[in-house]
């Protein structure tokens, strides 16, 4: 299969390296495309092999020429979120299928573009929800599907972003909703997709609240960061700021961003306490599902640790699942947890609770990435997926609709009915 990759920032590396290192006998990267010539050149350099002419490179404005000259079968979209729909639609119209980094897109207007183009062309898009493929999350799917706790009635889902990972969303392009949809779309799409997949249902209504409570000028003042700059690079108080990001000290960040600034003036290290930030850092949502299940969801982006806590209530008992990914941030260093930091407890009515053995695997995201990439790039070499983990445009749409509805609820202070929201935009979600 001939593959083109659009977007050569940090997210494309997983796809690029997997194809080039693990599936080169089955697929070929025929083109790379990016708006920034420096990042484009760095990505091409990483693919360069002795005695070859290298891979063809195209600037973003030459995407149609890329299609015409290289004729890819599949386009991998790893651009900023607000550009996903544009490239998906253009790839569909050119006769290509698409592999898209999450989220599928960020708002209803762009979602309708994708859904209409898919219906018109019959092309396919797969959204890469790697969390579905981790052994620990798959075990939860097995337990719920088997009826281990009877009918699931309610869920509490809490996601904690620590003060390194969480802060990063407030210094990049993600910090404005017109770019990312906010964390309820960009980040929570993973979590809402898991709930949809685990429960085998879709959301019907959302009521949410959210605000920027931590990443704001008042916090900087309380931390004694008067006179701070607009970005970390060259900031006069960077040495006493626990949130400072030194692009020059990290080879990857230096090559990918600092040395690329001259081409497009994109700064990867904007101050996380800027007044102009347009996304929330503290969000809660109450979600109703078509099956009758209700869920409470919380996301904070300045937690002392990183990971998730989930409890499923059922008619026969409950499941408590906890994953500590990072114990905390100490002196600027993240203390990553080991495999034992994932626990799943099954507590059936009338019995003592018992900790289950949680399956593990090697690789990023708890062993999820190698499995997902195997199903994407070598499905014939994998065992049939009994869990239905591949995500098409419909699954991708339902994963963002909870967040889009939550954003609307925060803005209006009202419950948002998702069916009415879709109807008002003429969006029909069908396979």
pLDDT for the residue 334: 86
Domain boundary among 94, 110, 129: 129
Query: Residue 309 belongs to a domain with what CATH number?
Result: 3.30.360.10
Residues in contact with 124: Cβ distance below 8 Å, sequence separation at least 6, in sequence order:
97, 98, 118, 392, 393
Q: Residue 295, CB half-sphere, CA atoms under 13 Å: how many?
A: 30
Do 229 and 295 lie in one domain? The reply is no
**Model confidence pLDDT, tens digit, residues 13-71:** 999 999 999 999 999 999 999 999 999 999 999 998 776 668 999 999 999 999 999 99
Other residues' Cβ atoms within 10 Å of the Cβ of residue 129: 25
Do 21 and 159 lie in one domain? The reply is no
179 domain-assigned: yes
Q: What is the overall mean pLDDT for the chain?
A: 95
Other residues' Cβ atoms within 10 Å of the Cβ of residue 313: 17
Do 312 and 412 lie in one domain? The reply is yes
292 domain-assigned: yes
Do 107 and 136 lie in one domain? The reply is no
pLDDT for the residue 3: 98
Split at pLDDT 50, 70, 90, the class of 339 is: low
Do 231 and 305 lie in one domain? The reply is no
Domain boundary among 99, 129, 159: 129
Do 135 and 125 lie in one domain? The reply is no
**Model confidence pLDDT, tens digit, residues 243-269:** 999 999 999 999 999 999 999 999 999
Distance between CA atoms of residues 241 and 221, nearest Å: 11
Distance between CA atoms of residues 29 and 15, nearest Å: 10
pLDDT for the residue 329: 82
Q: Closest Cα to residue 402, out of 140, 196, 99, 153?
A: 196
For 144-228, strand residue ranges (E) read: 152-162, 203-211
Distance between CA atoms of residues 347 and 73, nearest Å: 49
Do 156 and 305 lie in one domain? The reply is yes
Percent of residues, the chain, with pLDDT higher than 90: 92
Contact 165, 269 (CB under 8 A): no
Split at pLDDT 50, 70, 90, the class of 361 is: confident
Do 150 and 245 lie in one domain? The reply is no
Do 192 and 86 lie in one domain? The reply is no
Other residues' Cβ atoms within 10 Å of the Cβ of residue 116: 15
Do 229 and 174 lie in one domain? The reply is no
22 domain-assigned: yes
Query: Residue 61 belongs to a domain with what CATH number?
Result: 3.40.50.720
Q: Closest Cα to residue 27, out of 16, 35, 38?
A: 16
Mean pLDDT of 153-168: 97
Do 152 and 162 lie in one domain? The reply is yes
Strands 282-289 and 203-211: antiparallel
For the chain, the domain total comes to 3
Do 155 and 122 lie in one domain? The reply is no
98 domain-assigned: yes
Q: In which domain, by residue range, is 236 found?
A: 217-264
269 domain-assigned: no
Burial environment of residue 54 by CB neighbours within 10 A (0 to 12, 13 to 18, 19 or more): exposed
119 domain-assigned: yes
């Amino acid at each position: 299969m001939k593959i083109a990759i659009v977007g050569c920032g940090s997210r494309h590396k997983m796809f690029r390296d997997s194809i080039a290192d693990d599936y080169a006998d089955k697929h070929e990267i025929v083109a790379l495309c990016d708006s920034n010539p420096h990042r484009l050149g760095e990505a091409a350099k990483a693919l360069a092999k002795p005695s070859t002419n290298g891979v063809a490179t195209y600037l973003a404005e030459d995407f149609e020429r890329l299609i015409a000259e290289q004729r890819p079968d599949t386009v991998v979209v790893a651009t900023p979120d607000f550009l996903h729909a544009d490239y998906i639609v253009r790839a569909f119209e050119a006769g290509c299928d698409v592999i898209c980094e999450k989220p599928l897109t960020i708002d209803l207007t762009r979602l309708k573009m994708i859904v209409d183009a898919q219906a018109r062309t019959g092309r396919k898009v797969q959204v890469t929800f790697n969390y579905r493929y981790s052994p620990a999350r798959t075990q939860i799917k097995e337990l719920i599907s088997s009826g281990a706790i009877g009918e699931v009635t309610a869920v509490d889902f809490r996601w904690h972003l620590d003060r390194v990972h969480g802060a990063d969303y407030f210094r990049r392009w993600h910090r404005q909703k017109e770019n990312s949809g906010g964390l309820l779309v960009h980040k929570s799409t993973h979590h809402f997709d898991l709930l949809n997949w685990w429960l085998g249902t879709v959301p019907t209504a959302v009521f949410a609240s959210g605000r920027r409570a931590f990443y704001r000028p008042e916090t900087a003042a309380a931390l004694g960061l008067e006179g701070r700059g607009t970005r970390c690079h060259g900031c006069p108080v960077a040495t006493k700021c626990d949130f400072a990001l030194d692009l020059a000290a990290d080879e990857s960040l230096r090559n990918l961003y600092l040395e690329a600034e001259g081409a497009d003036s994109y700064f990867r290290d904007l101050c996380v306490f800027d007044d102009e930030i347009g996304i929330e850092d503290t969000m809660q949502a109450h979600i109703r599902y078509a099956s009758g299940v209700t869920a409470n969801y919380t996301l904070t982006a300045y937690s002392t640790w990183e990971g998730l806590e989930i409890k499923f209530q059922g008619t026969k008992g409950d499941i408590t699942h906890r994953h500590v990914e990072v114990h905390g941030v100490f002196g600027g260093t993240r203390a990553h947890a080991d495999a034992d930091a994932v626990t799943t407890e099954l507590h059936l009515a009338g019995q003592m609770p018992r900790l289950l053995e949680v399956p593990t695997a090697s690789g990023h995201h708890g062993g999820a990435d190698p499995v997902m990439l195997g199903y994407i790039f070598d499905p014939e070499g994998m065992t049939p997926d009994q869990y239905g983990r591949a995500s098409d445009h419909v699954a991708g749409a339902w994963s963002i609709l909870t967040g889009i509805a939550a954003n609307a609820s925060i803005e209006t202070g009202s419950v948002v009915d998702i069916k009415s929201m879709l109807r008002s935009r003429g969006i029909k979600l069908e396979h």
